[in-house]
Structure 1
Amino acid sequence: MSLATSSSMAGGAAVVPRSATATTASAFVTMKRRATAVRAVHAAEPSKNPPVGVPSAAKTSSPSVAAPEKAPVAAAPAPEAPAPAATKQVAPARWAVDSWRTKKALQLPEYPNAAELEAVLKTIEAFPPIVFAGEARHLEERLADAAMGRAFLLQGGDCAESFKEFNGNNIRDTFRVLLQMSAVLTFGGQMPVIKVGRMAGQFAKPRSEAFEERDGVKLPSYRGDNINGDAFNEKSRIPDPQRMVRAYAQSAATLNLLRAFATGGYAAMQRVTQYRELAHRVDEALGFMSAAGLTVDHPLMTSTDFWTSHECLLLPYEQSLTRQDSTTGHFYDCSAHMLWVGERTRQLDGAHVEFLRGVANPLGIKVSDKMNPTELVKLIEILNPSNKPGRITIITRMGAENMRVKLPHLIRAVRHAGQIVTWITDPMHGNTIKAPCGLKTRPFDSILAEVRAFFDVHDQEGSHPGGVHLEMTGQNVTECIGGSRTVTFDDLGDRYHTHCDPRLNASQSLELSFIIAERLRRKRIRSSKLNNMLPLPPFGV
């Protein structure tokens, strides 16, 4: 289900036993804990969630998402020996919600109090799921359309959500800009736009350095508000497990407001016409639809589908919100509809990939110019052994020039392997520079150049440009330079509010959407002309 059709949770959630953990990841505090899987009770979905028998025994392993017999992974080549025995593929160990703890985990904090951490995780395990399994399945179906060129994914939101800036106005403004961008893209592409927010859970951030040093003082790096504080003092930088409880509460409240916006009339088409260029197009379309009998107060015109996503980074938190779906027996990470694995944590034998291979949510893979085509194919095989459309979204982030050189090889490798994926671009992370004042920024022209390179490569390869992934906000910040309203280096200090990386402001985000919409329009026209040139079949065939 999407936010537009979500029902309230009935009956809460029932707790079922789960296997204990034997080994904790080396980058995490060593502890033994009894893990608990919670079987979520979901709202009925007659068309997408037919009632089927619930497994008779509660199990800790996912029965189909990561079944080893379907997902053999090639073993590492054995070292040379005088008389080597014949090698054979070894199937991965059976997945469990806590099997990631047997793998090497990067980018995880070290909590000083293991007992407090244990207590917090048990508390979160007892909380209701933030999202429902049926909603994640619905998103997967929509993403399958994007993989085939029948829809376009718009994924955007904060670099990192914060406790300080949590208020309804900020949520509303970001939601509104995403709606406006979606309307522009819909008119340009003449196809559905899948709206996914980097919202309601995007707190934790990977860091290139474990420590930060200022004026000779060395402290742990800030890793996101759900882990530690950004103030540069020892107390603030100590990882605090209680922050996970606060992050859960904020995520649930954010999603609750998003559901209200998506279904309560705020998403009505008349409300997105703040900008003149968009207003003219929307007014024309509304006039046509009204003449056709589809009035502006029709439910189709006052509600929308909206999903949430974040990077799967803080694995103890993600495990605590993993639930077994009562209708399918599959496990879902109910902290978000969609999750992605980052550039720094996508190791084939790493803890994050191990966790994600067993949850049934749609997944993203962040890919930079460092990704080897063979490695990408193997990673997709691990995460999607059944090659299910909509399951995998490849989020490329490599800069315009690298995009033109590297992306074609990745597309060809995935196509040669017969793997079905949705290709989208993240034009933000490959274009971060340091301004003369010392602040990080991103030039709008560089962002635009990477978007254009993304479309050019897909035109060249005959593949589908499936979407865009942006770090943006509905606020009038001055964090990225350039754009039609020309934010300069000198303007950066005026409204530089980000807690992590620079974001596009509302004006820059909408400007970019118009440029993307024009590319979609041109692609649509070319496809239409090509289809008209195809010979008609013989009469009677």
Structure 2
Amino acid sequence: MFWRTKKALQLPEYPDQAKLDAVLQTLDSFPPIVFAGEARHLEDRLGEAAMGNAFLLMGGDCAESFKEFNANNIRDTFRVILQMGVVLMFGGQMLVIKVGRMAGQFAKPRSDNFEEKDGVKLPSYRGDNVNAATLNLLRAFATGGYAAMQRVTQWNLDLTEHSEAGDRYQELASRVDEALGFMSAVGLTTDHPIMTTTDFWTSHECLHLPYEQSLTRLDSTSSLYYDCSAHFLWVGERTRQLEGAHVEFLRGIANPLGIKVSDKMDPNELVKLIDILNPENKPGRITIITRMGAENMRVKLPHLIRAVRRAGQIVTWVSDPMHGNTIKAPSGLKTRPFDAIRAEVRAFFDVHEQEGSHPGGVHLEVTGQNVTECIGGSRTVTFDDLGSRYHTHCDPRLNASQSLELAFIIAERLRKRRMGTQQSLAP
């Protein structure tokens, strides 16, 4: 609770403190949403990604809303992440850690507390700001047979049909089916849990501290505190002050943590922040999520990598190619060009290849809905198309076809990296 003595930015202002306290007390009395052991398991996996032996795939909505809470939307986004995971696993020949930006990505930072339009002044929308039953459905999908590898050919969404990415996925899925058939023919069972279920974790930005505090629990196994609102929490660009309340709160919980980093981050400050949040230098504890734009990535990221390396700190480096590439369309809608997203991903891999470090994952805003929010891709979305299916409550998301197309681009880089490593180890 020491975070309450620190300055907390970006918290909503509630007119009725007594009602807020009553709601928080109710949340405090509820069972945890996730379990400490699950968060520890994720931390172990992220430690593998830090060493280049696994790859993190984070994906989901920019801002979830109650309006879109239905089984089909949740299923379709989950399915896109499964599809992308198969593509990346096949290309990289390594474990893919699937983390949903789901079941908690509600609260949003805003530049101003109020917005004014046509003379009307209203509080800025900060998200619906409360969790819901999404996680129960995700658990059912992940463990109830839906995620079984035998269903790999059935995961395709209608909106990816007749697209280059969809065709490539079907070809890959057929190859996976052949491999499963061979395993069965030689007596290797395909009903093992590793083939019929998948690990799936949840994440969101640690922004609304009273809410996060109300779901923090003391774990009886480890005697450590875990924020049981999600497995993975990250601190954003606007709330990562070294002496701020958000960093103080995160310092006290044992979940794996993310740090969002833009081109404004000073390398020395990053080292200090990592040291505050991970003084024991535990692999998997800290994930650095870079969001810079392609050109800034090539200039700024090497200095961050070198500073962290000099300090001897172990982190998982992840690319968020979405937030540094938001532009305004002629219509006034926010959008993100697919070419810019692809360029930042390529810059991320190029820098890590240059520095001899490990590209540990990607953090994307995606949806299973057939939206037209990001321009470009092989099934080209134009500026004129944006208004037809623009449904996001905050920032533009990749649709399923664009997500798959990007997954194949990343998988090719992982494959080249793997082949290069094998050649360097050859006698």
TM-score (norm 1): 0.75
**Residue in structure 2 matched with residue 130 of structure 1 by the alignment:** 33
Q: 1:165 aligns with which of 68, 75, 90?
A: 68
Take 2:388 and 2:118, find their aligned partners in 1: how far apart are those partners?
25
Q: CA deviation at 1:286?
A: 1.8
Q: Counterparts of 1:392-407 in structure 2 under 5 Å?
A: 392-407=286-301
SS of 1:395 mapped into structure 2: strand
**Residue in structure 2 matched with residue 84 of structure 1 by the alignment:** none
Q: 1:258 aligns with which of 132, 138, 148?
A: 138
Which amino acid in structure 1 is aligned with residue 4 of structure 2?
R
Q: Counterparts of 1:63-462 in structure 2 under 5 Å?
A: 98-226=1-129, 247-248=130-131, 250=132, 253-273=133-153, 274=156, 275-462=169-356
Q: CA deviation at 1:176?
A: 0.7
- What are the Cα deviations for residues 497-534 of structure 1, in whole angstroms up to 9, with x where unaligned? 0000000001111110011000000000000000004x
Which amino acid in structure 1 is aligned with residue 399 of structure 2?
N
Q: Using a 3 Å threshold, how does the CA distance of structure 1 residues 277 and 208 change in structure 2: closer, same or farther?
A: farther
Which amino acid in structure 2 is aligned with residue 447 of structure 1?
I
Take 1:424 and 1:293, find their aligned partners in 2: how far apart are those partners?
39
Take 2:186 and 2:27, find their aligned partners in 1: how far apart are those partners?
50
Take 2:77 and 2:190, find their aligned partners in 1: how far apart are those partners?
23
Take 1:314 and 1:104, find their aligned partners in 2: how far apart are those partners?
13
Q: CA deviation at 1:272?
A: 2.6
Correspondence 1:531 to 2:425: yes
Which amino acid in structure 2 is aligned with residue 506 of structure 1?
A
Which amino acid in structure 1 is aligned with residue 135 of structure 2?
L
Q: CA deviation at 1:283?
A: 2.3
- What are the Cα deviations for residues 178-214 of structure 1, in whole angstroms up to 9, with x where unaligned? 0110000000000000000001100001112222121
Q: CA deviation at 1:478?
A: 0.5
Q: CA deviation at 1:277?
A: 2.9
Correspondence 1:489 to 2:383: yes
Count matched residues: 413
Q: Using a 3 Å threshold, how does the CA distance of structure 1 residues 331 and 435 change in structure 2: closer, same or farther?
A: same
SS of 1:475 mapped into structure 2: coil
Q: Is the 8 A contact 1:479 1:495 kept in 2?
A: yes
Take 1:209 and 1:313, find their aligned partners in 2: how far apart are those partners?
15
Q: Is the 8 A contact 1:121 1:320 kept in 2?
A: yes
Which amino acid in structure 1 is aligned with residue 254 of structure 2?
A
Which 10-residue stretch deviates more, 202-211 or 415-424? 202-211
Take 2:412 and 2:19, find their aligned partners in 1: how far apart are those partners?
53
Answer with 1 or 2: which has the greater Rg.
1
Q: Is the 8 A contact 1:431 1:443 kept in 2?
A: yes
Any stretches of 5+ residues in structure 1 without a counterpart?
1-97, 227-246, 534-541
Take 1:272 and 1:339, find their aligned partners in 2: how far apart are those partners?
30
Q: Is the 8 A contact 1:158 1:199 kept in 2?
A: yes
Q: Which has the higher helix share?
A: 2
Which amino acid in structure 1 is aligned with residue 374 of structure 2?
C
Any stretches of 5+ residues in structure 2 without a counterpart?
157-168
Q: CA deviation at 1:487?
A: 0.6
Which amino acid in structure 2 is aligned with residue 264 of structure 1?
G
Q: CA deviation at 1:299?
A: 2.4
Q: Is the 8 A contact 1:268 1:296 kept in 2?
A: no
